[in-house]
Amino acid sequence: MSGFSLTEAQAGVDGNMFRLIDPAEIPTPAGDAGALEQAAADLRSGGEEILELAEGAESTWMGLSAHYEAPESGELLAAMGPTVEKAEGVESDLSTVAGALDDFASAIRTAKSSLNALRAHAEELRSEVDADSAIWWLKKPSAVIENKDLKDAVNRAWQAYNDAETDCANAISALCGARPTSRPTSTPVG
């Protein structure tokens, strides 16, 4: 599959507890969970259909035994065996890909939900402090810790999404012997 690359790693939010979180800087996963789930279902059913067709062809082929007698008949009748074995391998590989896509789709839904909730929390926090002031925490000193905890939660949720994307890519790549993709880091320096 040439041309495939992971989503370019976006940074989470900076970890500086004295810089007030900006909801607009909270990343949003771009993946379409519904499309991935549909692709997974299509791959899974396609693999099952391939195996079913191969098994049907083998069954029909074996029907020749009632009508064909020759010294090589055993070899001829066994010729379909490798086809079924290959079809089983294809079905298994497609099932593995489908599982990886389903897992990633679930991670997308979780990340979107978590990050949207954290974005709402960030907006709420900004409304409780003097967001336009350089010393925004004077109105609510406990907001410094709340801000730090919120930033940490955003970065954990974003890293979990990046990890799930990498896990999906690696599960698929492993089927063709490709080297694993490195996990991006999303925690910014600062």
Q: What is the separation of C-alpha 118 from the centre of its chain, rounded to a whole number of angstroms?
A: 21
The answer to whether residue 119 sits within a structural domain is: yes
7 closest CA partner among 27, 28, 30, 24: 30
The answer to whether residue 70 sits within a structural domain is: yes
The answer to whether residue 9 sits within a structural domain is: no
Structure tokens at 103: 């897992």
Structure tokens at 29: 């996963």
Instruction: Identify whether the C-beta of residue 164 lies closer than 8 Å to the C-beta of residue 104.
Output: yes
d(CA 8, CA 129): 34
What's the total number of domains in the chain? 1
The answer to whether residue 2 sits within a structural domain is: no
Q: What is the separation of C-alpha 156 from the centre of its chain, rounded to a whole number of angstroms?
A: 16
The boundaries of the domain holding residue 62 are 32-176
The answer to whether residue 25 sits within a structural domain is: no
> What distances in angstroms separate CA 177 from CA 19, 95, 102, 160, one per listed residue?
45, 17, 21, 25
pLDDT of the chain, 190 residues: tens digit per residue:
444 455 556 678 998 999 999 999 999 998 999 999 999 999 999 999 999 999 999 999 888 888 888 888 888 888 888 999 999 999 999 999 999 999 999 999 999 999 999 999 999 999 999 999 989 999 899 999 999 999 999 999 999 999 999 999 999 999 999 988 887 664 443 3
Beta-carbon contacts of 145 under 8 Å, excluding residues fewer than 6 positions away, are 17
CATH assignment at residue 145: 1.20.1260
116 closest CA partner among 15, 27, 11: 27
The conformation of residue 99, written as its DSSP 8-state character, comes to H
The answer to whether residue 19 sits within a structural domain is: no
The answer to whether residue 98 sits within a structural domain is: yes
**What confidence tens digit (pLDDT) does each residue in 2-49 have?**
444 555 566 789 989 999 999 999 999 989 999 999 999 999 999 999
d(CA 162, CA 158): 6
The answer to whether residue 11 sits within a structural domain is: no
11 closest CA partner among 189, 190, 186: 186
